[in-house]
């Protein structure tokens, strides 16, 4: 996809990330200031990568990749994707696929034994997309919400 690149996010990307996260979770009331504080904390975590997809100089997507230490699987880490979103006006152009491929490459390069994500059960179009990208649905997710 010409003109598309994936890179680590920086402070200047935060307004674009805020807009993307509002599309992902419209009910979320996180302010830009709160997001900035969270971003700074994530920057200090050595195994957390906030990445953006940039198309012709415009941020059009993002994901967060966590590399998690592990005691099984021969001590190989696990990778987890969070907050993966492509701007709604750019969906269907291959951006999400490129982001997933990049995250997969990053996880493999770090020696991870798996790359996983969770998704809201209502987001069936996203689930179809993940399957088309070669991901396999596995397990059932449970959580506490605070």
So what's the pLDDT on residue 49?
A: 97
Q: pTM of this prediction?
A: 0.93
Residues sharing a CB contact under 8 Å with residue 111, sequence separation 6 or more, in sequence order:
76, 77
- Tell me: the pLDDT tens digits for 44-86? 999 999 999 999 999 999 999 999 999 999 999 999 999 999 9
So what's the pLDDT on residue 97?
A: 97
- Output the average pLDDT for the chain: 95
Q: What is the DSSP string of the chain?
A: -TTEEEEE--GGGHHHHHHHHHHH-TT----HHHHHHHHHHHHT-TTEEEEEEEETTEEEEEEEEEEE--SSGGG--EEEEEEEEE-GGGTTSSHHHHHHHHHHHHHHHTT-SEEEE---TT-HHHHHHHHHTT----S-------
So what's the pLDDT on residue 143?
A: 87
Is the pLDDT at 120 greater than 80? The verdict is: yes
What does the domain layout of the chain look like in residue ranges?
A: 4-132
pLDDT band at 145; cut points 50, 70, 90 = confident
CATH class of 4-132: alpha beta
């Amino acid at each position: 996809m010409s003109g598309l690149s994936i890179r680590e996010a920086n402070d200047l990307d935060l307004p674009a990330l805020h807009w993307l996260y509002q599309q992902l979770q419209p009910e979320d009331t996180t302010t830009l200031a709160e997001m900035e504080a969270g971003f700074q904390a994530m920057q200090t975590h050595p195994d957390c990568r906030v990445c953006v997809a940039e198309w012709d100089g415009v941020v059009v997507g993002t994901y967060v990749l966590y590399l998690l230490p592990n005691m099984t699987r021969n001590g190989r880490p696990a990778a987890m994707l969070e907050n993966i979103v492509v701007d709604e006006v750019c969906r269907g152009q291959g951006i999400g696929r490129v982001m997933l491929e990049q995250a997969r490459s990053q996880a493999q390069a770090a020696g991870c034994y798996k790359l996983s994500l969770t998704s809201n059960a209502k987001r069936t179009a996203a689930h179809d997309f993940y399957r088309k990208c070669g991901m396999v649905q596995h397990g059932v997710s449970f959580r506490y919400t605070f």
